[in-house]
Amino acid sequence: MTNLQGKVAIVTGGAVGIGAAITKELAQNGVKVVINYNSSSQAAESLVASIKENGGEALAVQADVSNSDQAAKLVSAAVDTYGQLDILVNNAGITRDRSFKKLSEEDWRKVIDVNLNSVYNTVSPALAHISQSDAGRIISISSIIGQAGGFGQTNYAAAKAGMIGFTKSLALELAKSSVTVNAICPGFIETSMVAEIPENVLEQIVAKIPQKRLGQAEEIAKGVLFLCKDGAYITGQQLNINGGLYM
């Protein structure tokens, strides 16, 4: 088991939703967390304050991770502040759901940029630092949609499937090092992203989930903690946390 006390993590999009749950879980386990946000500055600052009140260490850093210069500055801020980087959680993501006939080039590029190109943008500057860790972890929050596809989600499914291919390939390249590379594929999790789905559509989705409920952000955070703490021999995998919706 890896002792996480004093380890340093970056969580992209870590101020709200699944990212905030991951941030809290890691902080509760002694990890110094760099909470990246794009526009949610208030949420990020209040999360930093609450982690500090509970005796943890945290830092909020604004960066649009779809921009490579800003992603590089995010990594520098983490290393300059805490002197090391052990864990990178690529969580930032957006949807722009439209059937392919209605999908604009901008809808395509934006979703690929924020969900997939951001992974390149963060891993690229982070890898040299994470490689120095005795238990480096690169974890990308992909999606069930990247595995099974989704109506009106060609852009999002392509980005999330791309994250899985990236994960397997980088895992192979780093297998001889102490760095593991994995993806988590959540099903439908109760956050603002799922709140965008019309209620009648969501009811139909829940009816198809074998466990008959949406997942909670904390249930994804527990998966991240497991990979960080107990995942030394787990690499190149997709951890499905989806109530049985995709097997």
Site residues (vs ligand NAD, CB under 6 A): 12-13, 15-19, 36-40, 64-66, 91-94, 114, 141, 143, 186, 188-189, 191-194
Strands 179-186 and 238-241: parallel
Catalytic annotation, pick one of 37, 120, 156, 233: 156
Of 15 and 85, nearer to ligand NAD (C-beta) is: 15
* Distance of closest approach, residue 140 Cβ to ligand NAD, in angstroms: 8
120 catalytic residue (yes or no)? no
* Distance of closest approach, residue 110 Cβ to ligand NAD, in angstroms: 9
d(C-alpha 144, C-alpha 241), whole Å: 9
Query: What contacts 171, CB < 8 A, 6 or more positions away?
Result: 180, 181, 182, 235, 236, 237
Of 42 and 104, nearer to ligand NAD (C-beta) is: 42
Of 8 and 43, nearer to ligand NAD (C-beta) is: 43
Q: Which H helix or E strand runs over 137?
A: strand 136-141
Of 135 and 183, nearer to ligand NAD (C-beta) is: 183
Beta bridge partners of 60: 35
Of 46 and 177, nearer to ligand NAD (C-beta) is: 46
3-state class (DSSP) for residue 178:
coil
Helix H segments across the chain? 17-28, 41-53, 68-82, 105-112, 118-130, 144-148, 154-174, 192-195, 199-208, 217-230
* Two structure tokens written together for 120: 């390149």
* Distance of closest approach, residue 92 Cβ to ligand NAD, in angstroms: 3
* Distance of closest approach, residue 7 Cβ to ligand NAD, in angstroms: 22
Q: How many CB atoms are closer than 10 A to CB 8? A: 24
3-state class (DSSP) for residue 15:
coil
* Distance of closest approach, residue 5 Cβ to ligand NAD, in angstroms: 26
Sheet with 136-141, edge to edge strand ranges: 58-62, 32-37, 8-11, 87-90, 136-141, 179-186, 238-241
Strands 32-37 and 58-62: parallel
Residues annotated as catalytic (active site), given as ranges: 156
